[in-house]
Structure 1
Amino acid sequence: MNTLLSSGLPGTLQSSNPELELSIVVPIYNEVESLPHLVNTIANTLVGQYRYEIICVDDGSRDGSVELLKDMAQSRSDLRAVLLRRNYGQTAAMAAGFRYAKGRVIITLDGDLQNDPVDIPRLLAKLDEGYDLVSGWRKERQDAALTRLLPSKIANWVIGRVTGVQLHDYGCSLKAYRSELVADMNLYGELHRFLPALAFIEGARIAELPVLHHARRFGHSKYGLGRTFRVLMDLLTIYFMKTFLTRPMHVFGLFGLASTALGTVLGLYLTFLKFGLGQSIGDRPLLILTGVLILAGVQLFSFGLLAELSIRTYHESQGRPIYRVREVVESGVAESNESD
């Protein structure tokens, strides 16, 4: 058995449910043809090696996936079906899967059969080397070059530069997580594709592993270029969280100080023109700009103070520390603190 799942040494997984090792979380949206093949392939890969559960989260499917999932969940002891009331998006579906997962390791993959479950043991072996998250890399990706591969390469480069987490493939859903890492991350918007960046903010050790990727066998892709705007907005959110999550006053205060200082300098210049040289300044656009800059500076300072109060409320109300302890070592004894 994989040492990651069986060892109780510092740095290995701990759970309130020692009986369950793996939770396989699969978001489903209109994948009725793929479902039986996917569940059987996962089961055939894991049975006899791990104690596992498969959690299929239906995200408002309308093609019969709901009915099929109900029937399969009632006839299989290894399958749990989580049925959302409507289509919320992949981020919400993954968050629901994380919420119901009981395993010490959580594996995510797509429900379209393009990810291959046979890679799961390899991800676990890599996780056992001391990582908190192992992300799949579709090195030989079977998708259209212009509409999928090129935009993906550009997006991966931009995301890596902004977040500081250099991965070849942010969009690959096949990933392995330690359960305590997932417990520290709250997902909103379209943040599922930024999970490695969120994990990095929490201090996770991240690795990437080439995995298999197959051409889609059934249906059609649910993704398109229309996601670009949402991705950019979420990327800005991630950058702000990574840089200023515990000190928002640093960014608002900096711009507020710069704006106020520039407005003050312009104001002094106009004062000199008015009283020193006797020139009229009432019809000068510079006077309006001075007022705008000073008011903007005051508002930015106010935003910074409000953001500081919000961040303090966020951490204190949830009991969330502003740090994460990996382990404490004293007198030759190492104590794991992964859940802090």
Structure 2
Amino acid sequence: MNEAPQLSVVVPVHNEQDNIAPLVGEITQALRGLIPFEIVYVDDLSNDNSLQVLRDLKATTPELRVIRHVKNSGQSTAVRNGVKAARAPWIATLDGDGQNDPADIPNLLAERAKGDAQTKLFAGWRVNRQDSGSKRWASKWANKIRSNMLKDDTPDTGCGIKLFERDAFLDLPYFDHMHRYLPALMQRAGWKTVSVPVNHRHRTSGVSKYNNLNRALVGVRDLRGVAWLITRSRRTPVEEL
């Protein structure tokens, strides 16, 4: 690609071989002709055929870049490494399982165009979730508890589709599972965030990497940590003399 990208689409994957090609095709369909973009896939040391699928797609998709972890490190690390490798000033993220709809990225860009310079995060809000009943129930209560503790005024922080400024993201404190707390962390840094209704789809292939129990156990510890970060935050405007 000769034109510098204005948007980098970062997609973390672990064992999603059957979901990669359809999702790449949907991303290119949604963005070609709309904005100069690149796609940065981060393979979190998959042990299926994901990496080979990505290598094959590079031959037919000039926007595609692929980086790979040398050890399995989790989704937050994959997102962060993808953002660090990205060349555009703004980032869109998608889960690699195909449940997020790339057709929503133009909607997020449109919301950004209407927003002000202080809004650095446009977070997807799955208003019609297609997960199992138990998963929706667990998520509902997790969101309620999180909202009460963090006061982040965000109905759905677990949605993988987001649009944010690269520099603002890289300035946030990094920890495992931080991708689930981006609205609160952005607000802690002094930025505004907006929730945007987006589509949500059934997983058609592969298996989820999480279950309700491990989400809950990790979530309790993380919530306490993020709440502590918020109480310890200090933001001081500066002026140059």
TM-score over 0.5 (shorter chain)? yes
| Distance change (3 Å), C-alpha of 1:42 and 1:324 | farther
2:55, 2:220 → 1: CA distance?
Answer: 37
Q: Deviations over 1:26-57 (max 9, x none)?
A: 01011100100000100011001110000000
Partner of 2:179: 192
Residue aligning to 1:95: 80
Say which structure is richer in helix.
Answer: 1
Cα deviation for residue 116 of structure 1 reads: 0.3
1:111 alignment counterpart: 96
Give the letter for the 1:193 counterpart. R
Deviation at 1:164, TM superposition (A): 1.2
Deviations 1:170-220 (A, max 9, x none): 100100002221121232122110111111111111111110001111112
Residue 51 (1) aligns with residue 39 (2) = no
Name the CA shift for 1:227/1:46 in 2 (closer, same or farther; >3 Å).
Answer: same
Q: Residue 204 of structure 2 is aligned with which of 217, 225, 229?
A: 217
Distance 2:230 2:100 in 1: 29
Aligned to 2:236: 323
Aligned partner letter, 1:237 = G
Q: CA deviation at 1:127?
A: 1.5
Amino acid at match of 1:21: Q
Q: Distance in 1 between matches of 2:141 and 2:157?
A: 11
Contact 1:202/1:324, CA 8 A, preserved across alignment: no
1:20 aligns with 2:32: no
The amino acid of 2:226's aligned partner reads I
Letter matched to residue 52 of structure 2: E
Alignment of 1:7-156 (within 5 A): 19-128=4-113, 129-130=115-116, 131-146=119-134, 148-156=135-143
Deviations 1:192-249, CA, capped at 9 Å, x for gaps: 1011111111111111111000111111211102121211111111101101245xxx
Matched, 1:201 2:114: no
Aligned position for 1:230: 218
The alignment of Structure 1 onto Structure 2 pairs a total of residues equal to 233
Kindly indicate whether the alpha-carbon contact (under 8 Å) linking 2:188 and 2:233 is maintained by their aligned counterparts in 1: no
* Structure 1, unaligned runs of 5 or more: 1-17, 247-321, 329-340
Q: CA-to-partner distance for each residue in 1:223-281, whole Å, 9 max, x for gaps?
A: 102121211111111101101245xxxxxxxxxxxxxxxxxxxxxxxxxxxxxxxxxxx
- Residue number in structure 2 paired with 1:308: none
CA RMSD of aligned residues (A): 1.6
Q: Which has the higher contact order (CA 8 A, sep 6+)?
A: 2
Percent of aligned pairs sharing the same letter: 35
Task: Give the alignment's TM-score, normalised by structure 2.
Answer: 0.92
2:148 to 152, 157, 161: 161
Mapping for residues 226-305 of structure 1, pairs under 5 Å: 226-246=214-234
Q: Report the Cα distance in structure 1 between the residues aligned to 2:221 and 2:59, rounded to whole angstroms.
A: 41
Counterpart amino acid of residue 45 in structure 1? A
Q: Which has the higher strand share?
A: 2
In the aligned structure 1, how far is the partner of 2:146 from the partner of 2:57? 38
Write the letter of the residue equivalent to 1:137.
Answer: W
What SS is found at the alignment partner of 1:34?
Answer: helix
CA distance in 2, matches of 1:231, 1:324: 32
Displacement of 1:71 after TM fit? 2.5
**TM-score, with length taken from structure 1:** 0.66
Q: Does the 8 Å CA contact 1:203/1:324 hold for their aligned counterparts? A: no
**1:84 partner amino acid:** H
What residue identity is the alignment partner of 2:173?
A: N
Structure number, greater radius of gyration? 1
Quote the offset at 1:74 in angstroms.
Answer: 4.4
Q: Counterparts of 1:187 and 1:98 in 2: how far apart (Å)?
A: 12
Q: Secondary structure at the match of 2:158?
A: coil
Instruction: State the alpha-carbon separation in 2 of the partners of residues 323 and 157 from structure 1.
Output: 31
Contact 2:6/2:37 (CA < 8 Å) preserved in 1? yes
Name structure 2 gaps, 5 residues minimum: none
Looking at structure 2, the residues matched to 118 and 218 of structure 1 have their Cα atoms a distance apart, in angstroms, of 20
Aligned mates of 2:52, 2:86 — CA distance in 1: 22
Partners of 1:93 and 1:180 lie apart in 2 by 17
Letter paired with 1:323:
T
1:98-139 CA-partner distances (Å, limit 9, x unpaired): 111111210001111110000001101112222211111110
